[in-house]
């Protein structure tokens, strides 16, 4: 083909994939973006990563049994691999940037929530990933270990350290309130 | 330890959920992802096809003399520069009207496409750090450099 000069991408259409893929993205992308956001702490990075993962899903569509599970795992792996490779920490961003629209709750709750997110951001990368997968995605320890390719012991210790740090950073009063419900 | 969550953990779970509840994915994500997926497939297929093409054409494919391949008996007009972008078989999947766009101009998408021919996402991250831009901008900037014959200051 002649793609070297002026490269107009040659469309490659996977027959039958379009509608299903569209449905999958429509149904799942909000939730996936939220996961990416908690994992990275950066809206732009999260969107970029999500698009990258969705492109991979599209390419492998016919071979994937559960695209939602596949995308979650791919996202988590890409984030932890990236951290593993570079030891890179996500950039700090203002919390307001996360939201496309105003959050309709009180200032006190928002302040408390922002404290939790700040604390989450302060965690070392893998601890944060384990916390997010465990408490946002509701994955079991076994599932996390399996999908992130680490031992269950590692997941336990990372979760335990992460929780301890979060408790400290969130503050005792908030922690006490949470514990009493 | 056990799989039961303490009150604190349950609250944490709820807080995380609440914190991102209002976040919505951009509207054109499906189209952009599909367009990106297609580009990946195109690249992959082009890579797979290259050895066969080279072998079949005896290495003279790129010489510019190959002209209109022996496709039709009537060499109608000097074939316009839109050879394979419009597949003759009608696409079976519904292609949205503004497919490659997710708020990103075609020029940017082409630059990113060019970038991905040599580099990967992790390179974009590295360059983003070097150029002090976000990852997307790094891909666009890098792709533009490559398209204009320049070089990116980092090996793939």
Pick from B13, B43, B65: which residue ends a domain? B65
Per the structure, the count of domains in chain B is 2
Is the residue at B8 inside a domain? no
The predicted pLDDT at position B125 comes to 76
Mark residue B20 as left, alpha or beta (left: phi above 0; alpha: psi -120 to 50; beta: remaining).
alpha
- Which helix H or strand E contains A34, and what residues bound it? helix A17-40
pTM beyond 0.90, yes or no: no
Q: Which of A9, A21, A59 to mutate to test the interface with B (most CBs of B within 10 A)?
A: A9
pLDDT at res. A146: 87
pLDDT of residue B104: 55
Rounded to whole angstroms, the Cα distance separating B36 from A124 reads: 32
Residues of B in contact with A180 (CB under 8 A): 7
Determine the pLDDT at residue A131.
94
**Residues 94-123 of chain B whose Cβ lies under 8 A from any Cβ of chain A:** 94-95, 100, 102, 109-110, 113-114, 121-122
Angle between helix B121-131 and B135-147 (nearest 10): 100
Q: Is residue B136 a part of any domain in this protein?
A: yes
Give me the residues of A, 60-79, that contact B with CB < 8 A: none
In chain B, what is the greatest distance between 2 CA atoms, to the nearest angstrom?
78
What is the C-alpha end-to-end distance of chain B, expressed in Å?
43
pLDDT at A34 (0 to 100): 93
Residue B31 tokens read as 């189209």
- B89-118 burial: b if 16+ Cβ within 10 Å, else e: eeeeeeeeeebbbbebeeebbbbbbbbbbe
- Interface touch B37/A59, C-beta < 8 Å: yes
CB within 8 Å: A138 and B45: no
What is the ipTM, given to two decimal places?
A: 0.75
Contact by Cβ (8 Å): A158, A126: yes
Cβ proximity of A76 and A129 under 8 Å? yes
Residue B20 to residue A7, Cβ atoms within 8 A: no
Determine, yes or no, domain membership for B35: yes
Domain of B40? 30-65
pLDDT tens by residue, chain B, 156 residues? 455 668 888 888 888 998 888 889 888 888 888 888 778 777 767 766 665 555 555 545 444 544 444 343 333 333 333 333 333 333 333 333 333 334 456 677 778 778 877 777 777 878 888 888 877 788 889 989 998 988 887 777
- Predicted local confidence at residue A17, as pLDDT: 67
Q: Of the candidates A75, A83, A77, which has an alpha carbon nearest to the alpha carbon of residue A28?
A: A75
Q: Is residue B88 assigned to a domain? A: no
Give domain status of residue B7, yes or no.
no
What's the DSSP call for residue A135? H
Task: Choose from B15, B31, B134 for mutation: most chain A CBs within 10 A.
Answer: B15
- Please tell me the predicted confidence (pLDDT) of residue A31: 94
Distance of alpha carbon A145 from alpha carbon A157, whole angstroms: 11
Of A114, A128, A127, nearest to A35 (Cα)?
Answer: A128
Residues 31-50 of B with CB under 8 A from A: 32-42, 44-46, 49
Residue B1 domain-assigned (yes or no): no
Assess A174–B contact: CB distance below 8 Å, yes or no. Answer: no
Choosing from B15, B39, B65, the residue where a domain stops is B65
How many CB atoms are closer than 10 A to CB A84? 13
| SS3 readout for chain B | CCCCCCHHHHHHHHHHHHHCCCCCCCCCHHHHHHHHHHHHHHHHHHHHHHHHHHHHCCCCHHHCCCCCCCCCCCCCCCCCCCCCCCCCCCCCCCCCCCCCCCCCCHHHHHHHHHHHHHCCHHHHHHHHHHHCCCHHHHHHHHHHHHHCCCCCCCCC
Q: Give the orientation angle of helix A43-59 with respect to helix A67-86, to 10 degrees.
A: 130
Of B65, B81, B114, which one is at a domain's C-terminal end? B65
The count of residues in chain B is: 156
Domain membership flag for residue B48: yes
Nearest-neighbour CA in chain B from A149: distance (Å): 19
Tell me the pLDDT tens digit for each residue of A40-51. Answer: 888 888 888 898
- In chain A, which stretches have pLDDT less than 70? 1-17, 81-106, 175, 179-181
Residue B20 maps to a domain: no
What is residue B95's predicted lDDT score, i.e. its pLDDT? 36
Instruction: Give tens-digit pLDDT for A127-137.
Output: 889 999 999 99
Q: How far is A175 from chain B (nearest CA, A)?
A: 7
- Please name the residues in contact with B146: beta carbons below 8 A apart, sequence gap of 6 or more: B114, B115, B117, B118, B152
Euclidean distance between CA atoms A155 and A159, whole angstroms:
6
Looking up tokens 């090996």 gives B155
């Amino acid at each position: 083909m002649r793609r070297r000069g002026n490269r107009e991408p040659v469309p490659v259409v996977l027959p039958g994939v379009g509608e299903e893929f569209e449905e999958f993205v429509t149904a799942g992308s909000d939730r996936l973006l939220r996961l990416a956001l908690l994992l990275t702490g950066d809206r732009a990075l999260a969107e970029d990563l999500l698009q990258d993962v969705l492109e991979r899903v599209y390419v492998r569509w016919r071979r994937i049994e559960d695209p939602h599970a596949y995308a979650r795992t791919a996202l988590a792996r890409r984030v932890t691999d990236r951290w593993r490779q570079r030891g890179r920490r996500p950039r700090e961003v203002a919390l307001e940037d996360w939201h496309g629209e105003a959050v309709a709750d009180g200032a006190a709750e928002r302040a408390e929530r922002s404290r939790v997110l700040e604390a989450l951001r302060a965690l070392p990368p893998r601890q944060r990933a384990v916390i997010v997968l465990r408490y946002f995605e509701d994955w079991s320890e076994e599932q996390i270990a399996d999908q992130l390719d680490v031992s269950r012991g590692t997941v336990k210790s990372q979760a335990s350290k992460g929780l301890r740090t979060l408790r400290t950073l969130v503050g005792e009063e908030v922690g006490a309130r949470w514990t009493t419900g | 330890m056990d799989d039961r969550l303490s009150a604190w953990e349950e609250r944490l779970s709820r807080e995380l959920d609440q914190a991102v509840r209002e976040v919505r994915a951009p509207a054109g994500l499906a189209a952009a992802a599909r367009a990106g997926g297609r580009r990946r497939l195109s690249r992959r297929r082009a890579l797979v096809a290259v050895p066969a093409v080279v072998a079949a054409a005896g290495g003279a494919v790129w010489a510019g003399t190959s002209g209109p391949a022996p496709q039709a008996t009537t060499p109608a007009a000097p074939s316009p520069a839109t050879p394979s972008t419009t597949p003759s078989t009608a696409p079976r999947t519904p292609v949205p009207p503004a497919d490659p766009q997710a708020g990103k101009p075609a020029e940017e998408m082409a630059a990113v496409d060019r970038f991905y021919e040599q580099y990967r996402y992790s390179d974009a991250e590295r360059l983003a750090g070097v150029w002090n831009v976000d990852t997307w901008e790094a891909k666009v900037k890098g792709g533009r450099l490559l398209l204009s014959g320049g070089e990116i200051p980092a090996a793939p």
